[in-house]
Amino acid sequence: MSDDTAPWLIVGLGNPGAEYAGNRHNIGFMVLDLLAERMRGKFKAHKARAQVVEGRIGPPGPLNRRVVLAKPMSFMNLSGGPVTALRDFYKVPLERIVAVHDELDIDFPTLRVKLGGGDNGHNGLKSMTKSMGADYHRVRCGIGRPPGRMQVADFVLKDFSSTERKELDWFVDRSADAVECLLQEGLERAQSAYNS
């Protein structure tokens, strides 16, 4: 049973540093920045090696949710450490953790919301699952596969293309909406509304 007073922990996966800010791998950070803006919150450094915003999402009343938005400041493949430290600090049950991340196996700009599952070779998820188990929610932001013979590592660490950038704001906005829907209305509702 989940503790109703516990906050939701929304984790945007990405790499810290200005040189990575526009990378496909950093779409999790982009979505969290928008959620923070919607909450009128500013990210602050947390001792768990993360930037966090504490606040609430949703209208006043029963759908209002206490949340902690978190951007781990370790690199992607070490995300599990900061996320586990935040989980312990805020006493968040695993089923109230949401990872927002880029997903190679889904075309850009397609979303999928799910609970649990494998990491699909995603180093951020691999690190989180190794630290905590796999039964957390994911908002998977499709970035598609690299073209031609381009290596996956090169592709995810490149900025979105000029064509993709035309839809990027819309996609980040929709991803943030999916997170809010998941928290307020539950997994099934979020899946039927956003899994395209």
Going by C-alpha positions, the residue among 83, 123, 133 that lies closest to residue 103 is 123
Measure the CA–CA gap between 132 and 169, rounded to whole angstroms: 32
Read off the amino acid at residue 128. Answer: M
Q: Where are the alpha helices (DSSP H) in the chain?
A: 27-38, 80-90, 123-132, 152-156, 162-185, 187-194
- Going 2 to 65 to 168 to 72, the CA torsion angle's sign is negative
Measure the CA–CA gap between 4 and 1, rounded to whole angstroms: 9
Among residues 25, 101, 122, 137, the one annotated as catalytic is 25
Q: Is there a catalytic annotation at residue 25?
A: yes
Which residues are known catalytic residues? 25
